[in-house]
Structure 1
Amino acid sequence: MENCTLYTHEVDMGKVLTRMRANFDASALKVNGQEEHWESITVVSKKRRLRKGNTITITYRQRAVPGYTLEHSDEPVVVNLHGMYAFVQQIDADNQELKDRLLAKIPTINTEIAIKAEPSFNGDLRSAVMELAYELDAFFFSEGNVIFNTDVQGFWDKTGALLLDVNGHSTATNLAVNIETKYFDSQLPPSAEALERKARSLQQLQAMGVRSSAMLPAIADESTAVIRSAAEVAQRVAILTAINTVAFGYLSGTDIISYLQKNQLWEHTTPAEKAFLHNPTEEQKKKETWKCEGIWVLLWALNLLPELGYMTDLCNMDLIPEEIFPFRGLSGNPAVFFEKATTLRSTPEILDANDLYYRAHWSCVDARLKNEEAPVHPGVVYERHYALNWLISYRNQPWDEVTCDT
């Protein structure tokens, strides 16, 4: 038996039945359930399309409410997509841009189509499945079969090109991310406050010589945004500053694990952070050093830094006064910091910063796609956008799973 799974934003499964009927004789098809809402399709080999005795079975499951974001839900499809997103996120990809596109596409998925072949896929069946993928603008997940002529676990696009395997390899060069306009239309229109904020951000970026897109939507306004509490922000930045000492090689992962455990912070450390501290490889250390920008943002949000500074410059941690720095050595007590970190900036201030960095991030991505130099520092903008998205509870995502959609 061989399997593969198609993932698509489409919800009209009548297209699947139509495609199968175009490829196989009616006598070979068995449809379970009503035609417009079929439960399974089985193709039994009787003619030349399949070798005698071969069968394929197609089933599917969908989100209860179609959309283009991954809100937290107990729906099996959404739970699976969250797991897929986390799985892709941790792969060290050769083509980071392609990985980012796959990460952007996963939240748009509405339907998961499972295809099982007994005993295996053959040439004609491969053709039918590829046609179906193309029609549904789908991508594949497979643990290996004759469709892709490999036993490697990974993701393939609708043409059969490798998007990303578990080893980080790719052969595809692009991946379109399409969203049904009706999903946008179903959302409430942006408020005057959100539109004014968008206009201010665009004007500010224009004055900085940064071109952004007026087509980007407005973000949440003060009435809908959920800003994390000062206590949660203080706890997060206390953990980040401790882990940052390992990233820069000042202390060992074992030292910081003991410190976090002693100060009741270990249970609030994320799975990815725990994995890093248990095995701080040189490659991971390089990535973790970038968290300085997130630390900078969160200290700013706690009213402990006067401004975020320029998007063109790396933050300078040496400018942070010692008396407000969360980590004060292995013998230090973070409670001293928590006593000072009790208030947040106003919600409009935080939303202004998030909106500005969101639009600047788009400019960085656009420049990269065009092989142009970004007008601001892409790494600085991404890391600050990441921290700001966490701060405003964007899609209610935990720290390890924050997305920076543009």
Structure 2
Amino acid sequence: MICTIYSHQLGLERIKEILQSNITNAKISNVKDDDESDIIELEIKEGILSAAQKLVISYRERAIPSYQIPEIDDSALTANLKGLYGFVDSLPTVNEKVKDLFLQKILTLNCEFTITQEKGEVKDLKSILKNIANELDAVLFVQPDTVISKSNGQHFLDKNLDLIIDTEGNCEIENLDVKINSIYFDGDQSELTEDQMERKENNEKILETHNIKINRNLPCIESESETTLRTPKEIAQRVSILAVVNLVAFNSISPEEATDYLQNYKLWEFTTEKEKEFLANPTDDKKANESWKCEGIWVLMWALNKIDTLDFPNEFCDIENIDPDDYPVGEDKDPNIFIDSITAIRSKSEILDANDLYYRFNWACVDERINGREMEAINPGIVYERQYALNWLINYMEQDWDYITCDT
């Protein structure tokens, strides 16, 4: 194998076009292998008496192209990219800036193809590889002793075939472009509003203050003009149901009592299917998972102005610190009185500020986990649960409570 090429762009057909334009006398054929990679075979013969040359390219791409690596693998390539990220992150370097940019670029990669020279030596192969790399804004994982090698060990090259990093930490470039196709963003990042840019900048300063890793290429979340918050009544109903279910998680009431309570006060129809399944069979494991929803309750009570601040996510919230008069449920307490009393919530700007911050917190937590490190500055579980509730508040991707995703 000569190298493996990675790109954000999906490029099987473009690769074939480049090969055909550079090697006019090549016979190109396609096959599928057992792991469903696309195989391109090039048979090249310069003349009747010359020996044949053969290149084989094995191509695969992610099931869901993106600009980030999801927590749950969507393909074998995604799993490979997680390993690649960890490998690069472990390398020493003489240029931290380039290494950091390279790590950000790895998150955006959507396709991979290996190039193997099976027969003979293809004429102008270096030029062909450079043309492919330039066309796809690619990075290359290269073995030593090849036509494009720049190191005695395994190493990475940029689209110009210059050294990004090798196992000794060497580097011969000063910058590395990280380009992302706008179609993969949740919103169009080409026309950012002032509130989006200011929110991102302010929250990155918070991360910097606490020495939490920053992904400068993590995009902005939705603008205020693009966002429709949940209504005050929706939030009050949701937090009331969560509070009842949470009592079961902490063994304060039985699931039967909780079900009767929600039915008696006309909240059963707003209880989600997963919450109903939990109340029907609240095992110890399910109770442990449900107990984390304290952090979601805390976020929603903050949104309703019942608590002053979310506090830094390094310590668990304490629901008992909320004034009982401000809490929606309790013995002989009608939650609908609480629900009907809620007519306003925090501003869209405040809620989006928090959502953007927890989005960046969660990216840092995921980055640590991918690399086998423990996040010490903040608690990843608290961060996840709070981002979950914040995503619900801003109607992220119009997802219902049971199906909120915390993308990074």
TM range (shorter): 0.5 to 0.7
Q: For the aligned residues, what is the CA RMSD?
A: 3.4
Find 1:228's aligned residue among 224, 227, 230: 230
Code of the aligned partner of 2:351: I
Write the deviation string for residues 67-96 of structure 1: whole angstroms up to 9, x where unpaired: xxxxxxxxxxxxxxxxxxxxxxxxxxxxxx
Question: Unpaired segments of 5 or more residues in structure 1?
Answer: 1-8, 25-124, 141-154, 163-172
Structure 1 position 161, deviation (Å) = 9.1
Shift of 1:373: 3.0
Contact 2:37-2:60 at 8 Å conserved across structures: no
User: Which amino acid in the other structure matches residue 59 of structure 2?
Assistant: E
Distance 1:127 1:369, change over 3 A: closer
Of 29, 48, 67, the match for 1:22 = 29
Cα 1:236–1:137 change in 2 (3 A) is same
Contact 1:130/1:160 (CA < 8 Å) preserved in 2?
no
Task: Kindly indicate whether the alpha-carbon contact (under 8 Å) linking 1:367 and 1:374 is maintained by their aligned counterparts in 2.
Answer: no
Kindly state the Cα deviation for residue 220 of structure 1 after the two structures are TM-superposed: 1.3
Q: Is the 8 A contact 2:358 2:386 kept in 1?
A: yes
CA distance in structure 1 between the aligned counterparts of 2:389 and 2:342, rounded to whole angstroms: 17
Matching residue within 290, 293, 305 for 1:291: 293
Secondary structure of 1:135's counterpart equals strand
Kindly state the Cα deviation for residue 210 of structure 1 after the two structures are TM-superposed.
2.2
Return the index of the structure with the highest Cα Rg.
2
Who is 2:61 aligned against?
137
Amino acid at match of 2:255: G
The CA deviation string for residues 155-188 of structure 1, in whole angstroms up to 9 with x for no partner, is 98448999xxxxxxxxxx9997745725258925
Shift of 1:135: 2.6
Which residue of structure 1 aligns with residue 360 of structure 2? 359
Count of matched residue pairs: 272
Percent of aligned pairs sharing the same letter? 38
Contact 1:227 / 1:393 at 8 angstroms: preserved in 2?
yes
SS of equivalent residue, structure 2 residue 36: helix
CA deviation vs aligned residue, 1:140-163 (integer Å, no higher than 9, x gap):
9xxxxxxxxxxxxxx98448999x
Q: Which residue in 2 is equivalent to 1:266? A: 268
Distance (Å, rounded) in 2 between the aligned partners of 1:374 and 1:226: 34
Using the alignment, how far apart are the partners of 1:274 and 1:362 within structure 2?
A: 31
Q: Is the 8 A contact 2:10 2:61 kept in 1?
A: no
Q: Does 1:337 align with 2:350?
A: no
Give the corresponding residue for 1:388.
390
Over 3 Å counting, the alpha-carbon distance change for 1:139 and 1:346 in structure 2 is closer
C-alpha separation in 2, matches of 1:10 and 1:214? 21
Tell me how far apart the structure 2 counterparts of residues 209 and 157 of structure 1 sit (CA, whole Å). 33
TM-score computed with the length of structure 2 as normaliser: 0.59
Query: Contact 1:303 / 1:344 at 8 angstroms: preserved in 2?
Result: yes
Q: Is the Cα–Cα contact under 8 Å of residues 212 and 359 in structure 1 kept in the other structure?
A: yes
- Report the Cα distance in structure 1 between the residues aligned to 2:293 and 2:252, rounded to whole angstroms: 15
State the match for 2:381 in structure 1: 379
Q: CA deviation at 1:349?
A: 0.8
Three-state SS of the structure 1 residue aligned to 2:357 is helix
Deviation at 1:13, TM superposition (A): 9.2
2:226 aligned partner, one-letter code: T
Please give the residue correspondences for 1:4-403 in structure 2 after superposition, counting only pairs within 5 Å: 22=29, 127=34, 129-131=36-38, 135-138=59-62, 157-158=75-76, 178=109, 181-184=181-184, 187=188, 188-329=190-331, 331-370=332-371, 371-403=373-405
Note closer, same or farther for the CA distance 1:357–1:160 as it changes in structure 2 (3 Å cut). closer
Structure 2: tracts of 5 or more residues without a match? 1-7, 18-27, 40-57, 65-72, 81-85, 88-105, 111-179
TM-score (norm 1): 0.60
